[in-house]
Amino acid sequence: MESAADYHSALAQLEWQVSLGIDEAIGDAPVNRYEVVPDAKPASKSTKGKPAPGPAVIHAVASVDPVQDAQILAASADSLDALRAAVAGYDHCELKRGARNLVFGDGNPSARVMIIGEAPGRDEDREGRPFVGRAGQLLDKMLAAIDLGRDQSAPGDSVYIANIIPWRPPQNREPTPAEIAMMLPFIKRHIDLVAPDILVLLGDISCQALLGKQGITRLRGEWHEVMERPAMPMLHPAYLLRQGRAKREAWADLLALKARLKGT
């Protein structure tokens, strides 16, 4: 039996700890609460005869790889309509939540030339079609100068247009590397389904995604290879609207494209 002295000594120590602000009793060794099995409570009258509930089970949530998910969805699409539906149903890219419309593609799917831009702007987001604003109007004039157009029916006279990113980034900012990576499987499948003879990469983002290189002013004017197809990097029409002097380089690239079409 404890003596009165032991009792008063313990009480004094407790009061001293309370005065210091200690309000929890902590053991000497740490306890993992996830491994602790709660004591089974005695069955009440309403649950008598029923088995006591087992210990709580904590389920680990498997992480989702957005790029792998995109690869699976893209590979399963066997037509442009199926690919469009796959892109529309892809929910990992946050750009989708702030965009009005999916901007998938435009032009003749049988065209020999496929043009790949960067991302939609305000006008494209409103209409759901790529290159319909000022930059798109300039692109149409540039193509018409070498007898090409998105509305032409003959494969040799027409083009098909798409973007690396199908949703407009807020305030027309550049897409992030993560956004490019998760949408890349879709544009590659897009290229496979259109099966063009020649690719035109408009702007730095397109080159970054499909060539793994940056610096459009350095890359333009030279033929490269993308997915076993000749690819010509070109200055983006939006850049030409700001830098009119660069139209000379753009015209040289258009002539190179025209010559390549005649030679293939």
Kindly state whether residue 166 falls inside one of the protein's structural domains.
yes
Chain segment 217-237, per-residue pLDDT in tens: 999 999 999 999 999 999 999
pLDDT of residue 192: 98
Kindly state whether residue 164 falls inside one of the protein's structural domains.
yes
pLDDT band at 58 (very low <50, low <70, confident <90, very high): very low
> CA of 102: how far to CAs of 66, 105, 119, in Å?
18, 9, 11
Alpha helix positions (H), the chain: 4-19, 66-76, 80-88, 95-98, 122-127, 134-144, 177-194, 204-210, 216-219, 237-242, 247-263
Q: What is the DSSP string of 211-249?
A: TS---HHHHTTS-EEETTEEEEEE--HHHHHH-GGGHHH
Statement: residue 51 has pLDDT above 60: no
Statement: residue 29 has pLDDT above 80: no
Chain segment 136-171, per-residue pLDDT in tens: 999 999 999 999 999 999 999 999 999 999 999 999
pLDDT of residue 64: 83
SS3 46: helix
pLDDT of residue 60: 46
Kindly state whether residue 13 falls inside one of the protein's structural domains.
no
- 225 CB burial (10 A radius; 0-12, 13-18, 19+): exposed
Kindly state whether residue 115 falls inside one of the protein's structural domains.
yes
pLDDT of residue 171: 92
> CA of 67: how far to CAs of 50, 55, 105, in Å?
48, 37, 21
Kindly state whether residue 147 falls inside one of the protein's structural domains.
yes
SS3 17: helix
Statement: residue 57 has pLDDT above 90: no
| Residue 38 backbone phi and psi in degrees, to 5 | -65, 145
Statement: residue 52 has pLDDT above 70: no
Strand order in the sheet with 159-163: 105-107, 159-163, 113-117, 198-202, 229-234, 224-226
pLDDT of residue 202: 98
pLDDT of residue 69: 97
| Residue 200 backbone phi and psi in degrees, to 5 | -120, 120
Statement: residue 53 has pLDDT above 60: no
| Residue 178 backbone phi and psi in degrees, to 5 | -65, -40
The CATH number of residue 200's host domain is: 3.40.470.10
Statement: residue 84 has pLDDT above 50: yes
The domain containing residue 140 runs over which residues?
Answer: 66-263
Residue among 166, 8, 143 at smallest CA distance from 74: 166
Statement: residue 5 has pLDDT above 60: no
Kindly state whether residue 245 falls inside one of the protein's structural domains.
yes
State the total domains in the chain. Answer: 1
209 touches 164 (CB < 8 A): yes
Q: pTM (2 decimals)?
A: 0.76
Statement: residue 45 has pLDDT above 80: no
